[in-house]
Amino acid sequence: VKHCTNCLMPSTRPRITFDANGVCNACQWSSEKKKVDWSSRNQELINIISNNKTEGEQFDVLVPVSGGKDSCYVSWNLKHNFGLTPLLVHIEPPMPRVDGNKNLDNLVSSGFDCLKMATNSEINRKIAYQELKDFGDPLLSWMISVRSVVFRTAINYKIKLVMWGEDGEVEYGGLTTNKDTGFNSLDYHKKVYLSGNDPAKYLNAYTQAELTNWLLPSEEEYSQAGIKSMHYNYFDSWDPYKNFEVAKKYCGFEESESRNSGTYTNFAQTDSYMFDLHCFLMYLKFGFGRCTADACIDIRRGALDREQAISLVKMFDDISNDLDLTMYAEYFECNIDELKANIYKHTNLELFDIDSNNKLTRKFDIR
């Protein structure tokens, strides 16, 4: 494993690349951002909006929202700076946290319509557990249903514009193909965000009707509907802390009272306990956790130096001792030993030694 010489992102992160000086592509983008002509990109969005004008008879844009700071920021800007009437769509995450729900309510009360979808929790639980076993990601079921519900809602409501928050690949390290475009295709969502996982494989266990909220619309339905799916970070320089401030000021967003599990921050990804397990699996598979992800953002925005970040990462990244697995075993309706086996089998043995009690010893140093 090598770590970026500017932030701490490791070479094990999927799709990340480094330049000759060992700087990762997220850090390269972070300095390129300062030279981007943001006013012309802002104008691009204005043009897209005016080419897709709805004359006020229906919603102008669909915004997928978690209720977090980023969805507040995007919704607020589209309504107040671009004069649009957005429809917010929320897909309830598994194991929701109370403070996440409160933030969503506050966002909606700040002047929006929001369609809330609760998917069949039994199917969600079973798919999530299967994806944990097979793929090491218990959040994948939800990520699939988010895309399905969002695109289907856009089709049903005849809303042409869909605005996601940031493209994590461009902002945090990964594929840079979408650096120079605000648009993303259905195929990009399938291949990159869902890592090629096709929910059609569940058709042997459930009917097409039961899987409606997981199966994605076909390419044909999607293109016939004329959907333009975009990422907001292409049009506006993305800064999670700026988003947090706007969310707090205008959308009633409140940070958690305590820091999030596995990191030192309290204002990002506060809506679901499943996110904690998702991050732990990321740690087992790729050797970096939620603290590294947060610290890298803070290094890039100049709020942390690399040495401080290294001590934070060493303190918080490994949450194996704090993670309450009984809570997850109850959710998945399985016994704890079976759950542990299904989690720890994803440990990357090139990165960690693991003993019979699942005690992890990191084989690499963070320097």
Q: What is the DSSP string of 40-71?
A: HHHHHHHHHHHHT--TTSS-SEEEE--SSHHH
Q: Is the dihedral of CA 26, 242, 78, 153 positive or negative?
A: positive
Tell the residue number behind the tokens 């969310």, with chain if given. Answer: 247
Confirm or reject binding of residue 108 to Zn ion (CB under 5 A).
Answer: no
3, 13, 27, 166: which one contacts Zn ion (CB under 5 A)? Answer: 27
3, 7, 211, 238: which one contacts Zn ion (CB under 5 A)? Answer: 7
Confirm or reject binding of residue 150 to Zn ion (CB under 5 A).
Answer: no
The answer to whether the beta carbons of residues 360 and 352 sit under 8 Å apart is: yes
The C-alpha torsion from 126 through 132 and 133 to 135, rounded to 10°, is 120
Can you tell me the distance from the alpha carbon of 179 to that of 236, in angstroms, rounded to the nearest whole number?
A: 12
Rama region for 196: left / alpha / beta (φ>0; ψ in -120 to 50; rest):
left
**CB nearer to Zn ion: pick between 27 and 154:** 27
**Shortest Cβ distance from residue 316 to Zn ion (Å)?**
19
Confirm or reject binding of residue 24 to Zn ion (CB under 5 A).
Answer: yes
Can you tell me the distance from the alpha carbon of 77 to that of 62, in angstroms, rounded to the nearest whole number?
A: 13
Confirm or reject binding of residue 227 to Zn ion (CB under 5 A).
Answer: no
Confirm or reject binding of residue 293 to Zn ion (CB under 5 A).
Answer: no
**CB nearer to Zn ion: pick between 27 and 284:** 27
Query: Angle, to 10 degrees, between the axis of helix 140-156 and the axis of helix 121-135?
Result: 130
- Closest Cα to residue 362, out of 289, 307, 306, 262? 289
Stretch that binds Zn ion, among 10-18, 24-32, 151-159, 211-219 (CB under 5 A): 24-32
Stretch that binds Zn ion, among 16-24, 55-63, 141-149, 241-249 (CB under 5 A): 16-24
Tell the residue number behind the tokens 């309706």, with chain if given. Answer: 333
3, 6, 159, 295: which one contacts Zn ion (CB under 5 A)? Answer: 6
Count of positions (residues) in the chain: 367
Confirm or reject binding of residue 192 to Zn ion (CB under 5 A).
Answer: no
Stretch that binds Zn ion, among 5-13, 105-113, 124-132, 272-280 (CB under 5 A): 5-13
**CB nearer to Zn ion: pick between 6 and 347:** 6
Q: Which residue is nearest to Zn ion (CB)?
A: 4
Total of chain residues touching Zn ion, rule CB under 5 A? 6
**CB nearer to Zn ion: pick between 75 and 292:** 292
**Shortest Cβ distance from residue 9 to Zn ion (Å)?**
5
**Shortest Cβ distance from residue 364 to Zn ion (Å)?**
16
**Does residue 24 sit in helix, strand or coil?**
strand
Point out which residues bind Zn ion (CB under 5 A): 4, 6-7, 9, 24, 27
